[in-house]
Structures are given as C-alpha cells and as structure tokens.
Structure 1
Amino acid sequence: MGYRFTLDDVTFLRSRHGIKALETASTLDLTPASMLADIGELRSRYAPHDAALIETVICRRRGRTKLSAADDMLFTDDALQQATASAVGRNRAAEIARRHPGAVIHDVTCSIGTEVMELAAQEGISGVIGSDVDTVRLSMARHNCALGNGSSTLLRADALTPTSSADVVVADPARRSGSARVFRLEALTPPLLDVLTTYAGRPLAVKCAPGLDYRMLRDRFGFSGQVQITSLDGSVREACLWTERDDEPRQRATVLRSRPDGSVRAYDVTDDGDDHVPVGEVGEWIIDPDGAVVRAGLVRDYARRHGLWQLDPQIAYLTGDAVPEGERGFRVIEATGVAEKELRKRLAAQDCGTLEILVRGLDIDPDRLRKRLKPKGSRALTLVLTRMGRKGVGFICEPGARF
C-alpha cells in the first residue's frame, strides 16, 4: 500500500514551490540503496511533504510505460495501478465518438482523470464531465486534466447518485481495498451490479478487471450487453461492459499493438459469425492467439477469420500454413512425445541451448521441466506442449517470430 496523500499534499504539489520540489526530487535515484539519504535531503527542505514527493516521482517513473503524460501527472499508488493505459483509453474514446457523435460523456468514477483526459482530447465528443467522491483524487484529476488537450468539467459526486443527463456514462469501479485486490462483483467500489442498475436504460461502458467472470454475469444476473476484452502489446488489460445496442456482437476481443512510430494498430474479433473450424494435424506453423482472443472465448472465430484450424477442439493453440499479420508464429521443426527422456534426446539432436516452453492442456510446469531437460547446445528453440484428444504431444519449433 502506497503513501496516503492528503489534500494539503496535492495543493502543495500543484503549487509553484511544489513543482520546483518535484523537479529536485526527480533528480534523485530513490532506490533502496539511496533512499535513506534521499529522504533526509527532501525532508530537510520540503517537510512535511517529503513522502508525497517521493511517492509522486516513483509513480511517475512506473507510469511511463502506461500513460503518455506520466512525467507530469499526479498519482496515488492504487490509482496508478487501476488507471486506464493511454492507448486503451484512446481506443475507447474513439469508439464512443463513433457510436455517439457529438455526445456529452460523464465518467462517474474519474479518479485521477486518465479516462477523462482521453475523452476530452477525442474529436467528435462535445463535452466531458468527470466526478468522484475522493477529494484527493479529484484534486489530482484537476491537475492531470489540465495537461491534456480539450476541456472537461470536474465535480465531487457519488457514482450511484446520477448528477448529469450526459448521453453516455463511463464507470470504473475500484478493484482494491487497502493493499488487497478484490475480485467479487459485490466487493467493487461501487458494486458493479449497483452501477448497472443505477444507469439501466442509458448507454453505459463499465471498465472491469480482465478476469471478470462474464459468464456468471450473464447467467446469474442477466447481463445482455457486449463484453469487450482488450489487450495491449500482448498483455490483457481489461474487460469493458457495454450495455447498449442489442444488435452488437455479444463478445468482442480488441487487440492493440504499438508500432515503432508510436501509433497503435488495432483489430477486433467478434462472435458475429459461424465459429465452426476444422480440427486436424499440425501445419507448418503453430499460432498462440492473443490473450484477449482467448479470454473472450473467440479462438474459433479468430481461426475462421484467418483460415487456421485447431489441434484439439478444447485447446487454444491454432495451426496453419501461414501466420496472420502482426501475430507470433512458431515454425514446426518436428513432432515429439512428452516423456522427458524423449524430449531430452530430440532437443539434443537439434542442438538446443536456449529453450522456451509453452504449455496448454497438460499439467506441466515449464520452468521445472526446463531445469530437468538441461539443454546444452547453441541453438534457440521453442517447445510447444499440448494434447490432441487424450494424447500429450510436443512440437519442437523455431523461436517465435512476429509477422
């Protein structure tokens, strides 16, 4: 659990003196080895705000891979962990603008304002409101939103008390209680079902943890909207519940990939078609679909889209004669059994040294197996272990490459 900011801390950090103090703090290492000396220096000059300075600089450094404006933003540790990554928030803002051109959007759990920043910068959205019950985070949001493009209105309000007639409502219930992460729907703040009930009948997008049990949400609580699972650069980031448009696909995976030039490539996979695909022997390539596709239950839809087939109807590995653009594929060198003696012999014959092991459908720990196999050659290889029917199978492959 990080430092607990006060409103006085935030007022200081936003002041001219505080901005200068942050510049000073940012020049310090703030590592375990230097921390005692760094604390002493900051305390002698900026007490009682020394801890707030340290926490802010550490959060800014951690936030650089997630948020484009991290170096100038204010955070709490929990707020940073839950904050929507810039690329993901930008993608959602663009979708809202497409669905509701000229709309006013209200983020009813705006926290430190990361979602509001992306909404306000999006062309086609005419107004953005952000609200939160936490006065400290709201003060941070005022600072953060001033850094971005566009304007927004921020106010203190309870998410479960509607305070605007905005065209679209966005919510992101808190998924932490103190230092612990919470997973039960009713343990979120505010509870997810209360949010859905409060804004029933209005266009609503609710950001949730990627591990959300959306099947239970549908089966037990009657949720009938779309579940969108989003990944960024191979990491599954969130599930988003969209309550509108009965004609939309019920399941959607959104895959975002950063390009070297700073732009982001995006594609969607949905359940809007026949998901029947063949099951057969391994082709030239094995493809491990993006985690968003797997989590959304759209592996067969993805395979149909790209002319791939399954090794087993219950396993997420796909195979084919080509790798879809932007995806990672493993060229098969040879098939093998899964017994350690056979694996050791086959890998040695391939001069295997560095070994990546991927496993689906078998009770095998890749790290432990790698230690027992002890590859000593000079060649980097990938070992894919899975099952076809009831039989465990392995495939020795060239290292994964993205195409």
Structure 2
Amino acid sequence: MLAPRGAARLAELEQHLRDGASLDDARRNLRDQGVPAEETAALLTQAELRAKARAKFGEAAAHLLFTPAGLEQATRSVVAEAHAQRFAAAGCRVVGDLGCGIGAESLALQAAGIDARPVEINPFTAAVAERNLGVPVWAGDAERFPLDELDGVFLDPARRTAGHRDTRRITRPGDYSPGLDFAFGLAERLPTGVKLGPGFDRGLIPDDAEAQWVSVDGQLVETGLWFGRLARPGVRRSALVLRPREEETGTHELNAAADAPDVDVRDLGDYLYEPDGAVIRARLIGELADRIGAGMLGEGIAYLTADTPHRTPFAAGFRILERLPAGEKPLRRALAARGIGRLEIKKRGVPIDPAELRRRLRLSGPNGGTLILTRARGRHVALLAERLSG
C-alpha cells in the first residue's frame, strides 16, 4: 500500500465496500483477481482501520494509512490541532515531533503552518508516516535526533510495547520511550510539549510545567505537560474540554495557578453535577463549584450539588427526582413500582459493579431514568434522577 499498485487496489476495495459489498464479497473479489492471500489480508485490514479511524480523524482518515497500534496510539485530530495552535501562538516555526507514530501531530503542525520534523524509531511505522505526511521521516532513536534547527519539540513517548498490533500498556514511566528524563531535560533547552496518559502520576509533574488534562466528548484522553514559552503565565493546572460536535466553538477550558481546594460539603439539593474527567484529574472541582454555586455532596466524592440548574460544559447535570432506598431488595421493589425498565447507573464511593447490579435488579417497564449510587455526608444514598438537557 506504500506503492502505487497497492494504493490503487485499496481505493478499488474501498469503493467496492461503499457500493454495499460485504467483507466476504470483497475478499472473494480480490481472490478472483489473483491477489495473494497475504496482500488481501493487508488490504482488508487497512480498509477496516480507515473505517475505525474516522472517529479520530474524520473524513481525513480516507487519505491516510494506519497500523493497528499506530491508530490506537494516535492523537485525535481535534486534540492535535489544539497542540499545534499552542506552538503557533508561542512563535515556534520548526518543531521536532519526536515519536511521531503514524504522523497525527505532524499533520496538525503542518496545517498550522509549522515546519514539522517527524522522528519515528520503528522503520515500518516511519514509512507509513512518511506516506501520510509527504515529507521525510527521520527513522531512528529520538534521543539521537539533532536539535540544532528546532525552536520547539513535541514528544509522545511510547507507553506500549513495541510492535504493530496486540501491544501491551507500559505501566512504569521509567520504561517509556523516549524516557521522561530525556523529555524533561529537553524542556530545559527548548519549548517542549509532552503527551502522557490521562492517569499519569501527578507526583511526577515538574513544578515548572503547565499540566493540562484533555477530554473529548466526555472521554478523558491525555495529560499534556507544557514547558518554556508553551506554558502560559500563571497557569499550572488546566482542564480542556473539547466537544467537536457542538455547533459553536466546542472548546472550553478551566485554568488555575494551582490545584483548587474543594468547597464545603452541603446537604443534597435539587440538582447534582458530575464534573468532567478533565476537571477531576486537574483538581479543579472547587473552581467549578464556585462557578455554579454548588457544594460537595460528600467528603472525597467527586459529585457537586446545588439548588438551581446551571448549564456548564464542565459537568453533566441531573435533576434529582427522588431518594430511593439504598438496600438492593427495597431498591428493586421501588424501581419495579415505578415501571423503570431503562436505567443508567452511575456510582462514586460505593463498591458496586453497575453491570452486575443491573442484572440483579431485573428491570422491567416502559419508563427510564438515571440511578446515582454514592455517599452523601458519609451515608450511602440511591438517587433517581433525570439528565438535564444541554
């Protein structure tokens, strides 16, 4: 597929699938053309990867090549665009993409008018990135890449084992590639951005970094660390909430100079708010609570409660309909009496498996709702609620 013949066959295969052919039909068609089995498998895999990649890359996925591991680890285009805008705002013009994978970050840098210098240690992945980017990719160890011409660097350290499929997550930051010591050392020399997993140990965040947690459509996707002039003055904690399907900007951000202290615990009000994962990880729940006039539902519980409804992109809102019995048997009877057959189950601070509880509740009926299981002032509560629109 890196050669013209393979690219042409892939285009023909995808058109066949768009015309309504099944994968089995497409496989038979390729076999009838005399395409070898190994090449057929590669073509079908690539077509499936492109279809899956639309969730991250939109229509641009139709013009890119992927590996299974490369797609899994690639930055979503909307997040990569936010990264590139930060480099552009900082005046960076030549940026090293150290650990570029299939090229997602470099694509966004190019679109922002920045000269991206991609680096990838895996030769095959480097070839895929070169095809996607249309520029040479330096195939080698990022720690040996010359930095002389760069005025900024971005690192996405590999957090999975080597390979193109069936990779395993690396849990120890010391085993990342490039290593964190190298990444943080670069930050002392050049404006540097480092993409890390959303659960990255906060104790390892350098004091001079701006730490930004990013969520996309409610899914927490990364921790970004920014150094030098890429870090904004007075900002050390940030929650970036991206909702690309919103009609307006779809970009919302909470910033603070440090972790925000939690607000006081208060009695349950008529409304409950579940902060976005980026807000929780950034420890900006107190900042959000001040904005919407809410209090903590319980000590150490990431739910807020208020007496009035508020529209906010930083939390999902619920109107409390009633308080139900917390015990499983009386809860089952209460739900049955209300004809609840469709139930969203949310929980915090209670040792319950929602899927297993749903099975045991034996739900039946025409009505729906949200069941929130948590602790309020230290006591277990079961709340029947409905989501606030918008």
One-letter amino acid matched to 2:357: L
Given the alignment of the two structures, is residue 257 of structure 1 paired with residue 212 of structure 2, yes or no? no
**Counterpart Cα distance in 2 of 1:76 and 1:352:** 44
Aligned with 2:157 (options 158, 164, 173): 173
Mapping of residues 303-322 of structure 1, within 5 Å: 303-320=289-306, 321-322=308-309
Instruction: Tell me, yes or no, if the aligned pair for 2:186 and 2:192 is still in contact at 8 Å.
Output: no
Name the SS of the counterpart of 2:142 in structure 1: coil
Whole-Å Cα distance in 1 between the matches of residues 37 and 343 of structure 2?
A: 52
Task: Report the equivalent of 1:57.
Answer: 47
Structure 2 residue 343 is matched with structure 1 residue 355: yes
Q: 1:91 & 1:247 partners in 2: Cα distance?
A: 18
The answer to whether the Cα contact below 8 Å between 2:92 and 2:151 also exists between their aligned partners in 1 is: no
Gaps of 5+ in 1: 1-12, 147-151
Q: Quote the offset at 1:30 in angstroms.
A: 6.7
Amino acid at match of 2:153: V
Unaligned runs of 5+ in 2: none
Alpha-carbon distance in 2 for matches of 1:210, 1:79: 18
User: For residues 30 and 77 of structure 1, do their structure 2 counterparts lie closer, same or farther at Cα, with a shift above 3 Å needed?
Assistant: farther
- Taking structure 1 as the reference length, the TM-score comes to 0.85
Amino acid at match of 2:255: T
Q: How far did residue 252 of structure 1 move?
A: 1.4
TM-score (norm 2): 0.88
Alpha-carbon spacing, 1:167–1:306, altered in 2? closer, same or farther (3 Å): farther
Contact 1:348 1:375 in 2 (8 A): yes
Is the counterpart of residue 155 in structure 1 residue 141 in structure 2? no
Q: Distance in 2 between matches of 1:181 and 1:102?
A: 32
CA change 1:95–1:41 in 2 (3 A) is farther
| Most deviating of 189-198 and 272-281 | 272-281
2:210 paired residue number: 226
Alignment partner of 1:235 out of 212, 215, 219 = 219
Q: 1:57 to 1:223 in 2, by over 3 A?
A: farther
The alignment status of 1:267 with 2:258, answered yes or no, reads no
State how far apart, in whole Å, the 1-side matches of 2:244 and 2:125 are: 29
Deviations 1:188-216 (A, max 9, x none): 2222223222443321101111121122x
Partner residue, 2:98: 108
1:183-332 to 2 correspondence within 5 Å?
A: 183-215=171-203, 217-218=204-205, 222=206, 224-244=208-228, 245=231, 247-259=233-245, 265-272=250-257, 275-320=261-306, 321-326=308-313, 327-332=315-320
Q: Give the residue type in structure 1 aligned to 2:194.
A: V
1:335 pairs with one of 323, 329, 345: 323
Q: Say whether 1:140 aligns with 2:124.
A: no
CA contact (8 A) 2:369 2:384 kept: yes
> Hey, what's the Cα distance between the residues in 2 that align with 1:82 and 1:30?
28
Aligned residue type for 1:301: E
Aligned equivalent of 1:8: none
SS at match of 2:243: strand
